[in-house]
């Protein structure tokens, strides 16, 4: 594609979507912010807010109007989103959209077939990228269950044994997405995105203890125990299976890697976990603010 004038940001009010929107707006790109609810204040010039619901195909066409490129966040907590995302993208392609950048997790195991299948749906677009992101550092902020367990019970519970993962700041994921959504020289492929270090949960707990002065410990549990905990916390069974599958994959060492994609595509070094915690000091009522 020669130039990208307008980008649709699905999940535009979420952790990554807000930062993608801001970065694109600062580059002078028009943005369509799509979500079911959005703030009441008037958006900045060049930013259009639309009501968009994956479950309501009647909301698709208005979101896709005059769009060149799409930041694609699949429906949250849906363990089999390929059909709905595939039909949305068919509509997008027919409307003349040339590019889609899909956010996905690097750690969803192959047996979570639906979560893998969604990666293939973007192949129908003339240009595409798939972001395979490692665990978000933001999981330790705000109302995320991991963050609540850290603050209230001083523990991290997972079925990952001592496997390492390349934890990443969601703002770094967003910066890569903003670049891939708009760059003229586009190479359609998958990108594995990590932070600068692969850390086991014991390392994560020690970093939190040092940076936030909080005596956190890691309590490993079995995959079966973890699945029951997640389902009891309200996570749908199929999605709980996928999340625990990610833990098992991490335990196997498959997530023990660090890539240079953030530096290469966003033009800055990926944020370390210690630096991230310093930027987000512990407060009683913590909110998630991935903006840098
Ligand atoms: N957390 C991690 O460790 C991690 C790691 C790798 C990849 N990921 C991936 O990151 C994605 C989440 O990204 P994020 O953290 O930027 O999002 P987020 O902060 O969880 O926000 C979700 C966004 O989606 C919108 N949304 C929710 N339900 C919707 C629906 N039915 N139709 C349309 N929009 C809907 C929300 O707005 P409304 O509620 O107003 O609609 C919001 O804008 C997930 O796909 C996950 O697999 C997460």
Q: Which atom of ligand 1 is nearest to the CA of 131?
A: 7
Please provide the average confidence, as pLDDT, over all residues in the chain: 93
* Residue 110 located in a structural domain: yes
pLDDT at 117: 85
- How many other C-beta atoms lie within 10 A of the C-beta of residue 73? 24
Which is more confident, 76 or 47?
A: 47
Do the Cβ atoms of 133 and 106 come closer than 8 Å? Answer: yes
* Residue 227 located in a structural domain: no
Q: Which residues of 178-212 are buried (b: 16+ CB within 10 A; e: fewer)?
A: bbbbbeeebeeeebbbbbbbbbbbebbbebbeebb
Residue nearest to atom 6 of ligand 1 (CA): 105
* Residue 98 located in a structural domain: yes
The three state secondary structure string of 194-254 is: CCCCCECHHHHHHHHHHHHCCCCEEEECCHHHHHHHHHHCCCCHHHHHHHHHHHHHHHCCC
CATH number at residue 105: 3.40.50.720
Mutate to test the pocket of ligand 1, among 8, 35, 62 (most ligand atoms within 8 A of CB): 35
* Residue 78 located in a structural domain: yes
**Ligand 1 center from residue 72 Cα (angstroms):** 10
Residue 278, pLDDT > 70, answer: yes
* Residue 44 located in a structural domain: yes
Element (H, E) at 175: helix 170-182
Domain carrying residue 49: 6-134+168-194+256-267
Under 8 Å CB-to-CB from 152, ≥6 apart: which residues?
none
* Residue 38 located in a structural domain: yes
C-alpha distance from residue 57 to each of 48, 62, 84, 166, 220 (Å):
19, 10, 9, 36, 42
Which residues face 131 on adjacent strands?
A: 103, 191
- How many other C-beta atoms lie within 10 A of the C-beta of residue 110? 9
Give the pLDDT confidence of 225-275 residue by residue, as tens digits.
999 999 998 888 988 998 899 999 999 999 999 999 999 999 999 999 999
* Residue 153 located in a structural domain: no
Residue nearest to atom 15 of ligand 1 (CA): 15
Helix/strand/coil for 178: helix
* Residue 128 located in a structural domain: yes
Considering its fold, how many domains does the chain have in total?
1
Give the pLDDT confidence of 1-38 residue by residue, as tens digits.
668 999 999 999 999 999 999 999 999 999 999 999 98
């Amino acid at each position: 594609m020669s130039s990208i004038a307008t980008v649709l940001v699905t999940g535009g009010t979420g952790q990554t979507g807000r930062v993608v929107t801001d970065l694109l707006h600062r580059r002078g790109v028009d943005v369509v912010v799509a979500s079911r609810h959005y703030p009441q204040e008037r958006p900045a010039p060049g930013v259009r807010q639309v009501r968009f619901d994956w479950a309501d195909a009647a909301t698709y066409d208005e979101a896709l109007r005059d769009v060149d490129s799409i930041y694609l966040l699949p429906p949250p907590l849906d363990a089999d989103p390929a059909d709905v995302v595939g039909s949305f993208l068919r509509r997008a392609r027919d409307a003349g959209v040339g590019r889609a950048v899909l956010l996905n997790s690097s750690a969803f195991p192959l047996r979570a077939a639906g979560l893998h299948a969604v990666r293939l749906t973007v192949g129908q677009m003339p240009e595409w990228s798939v972001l395979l992101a490692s665990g978000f550092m933001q999981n330790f902020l705000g109302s995320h269950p991991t963050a609540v367990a850290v603050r209230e019970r001083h523990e991290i519970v997972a079925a990952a044994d001592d496997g390492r993962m390349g934890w990443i700041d969601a703002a770094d994921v967003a910066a890569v997405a903003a670049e891939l959504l708009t760059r003229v020289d586009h190479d359609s492929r998958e990108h594995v995105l990590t932070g600068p270090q692969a850390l086991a949960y014991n390392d994560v707990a020690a970093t939190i203890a040092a940076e936030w002065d909080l005596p956190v410990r890691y309590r490993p549990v079995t995959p079966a125990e973890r699945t029951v905990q997640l389902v009891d916390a309200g996570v749908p069974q199929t999605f709980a299976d996928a999340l625990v599958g990610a833990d098992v994959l991490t335990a196997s060492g498959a997530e023990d890697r660090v890539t240079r994609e953030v530096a290469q595509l966003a033009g800055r070094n990926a944020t370390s976990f210690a630096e991230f915690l310093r930027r987000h000091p512990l407060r009683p009522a913590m909110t998630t603010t991935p903006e840098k």
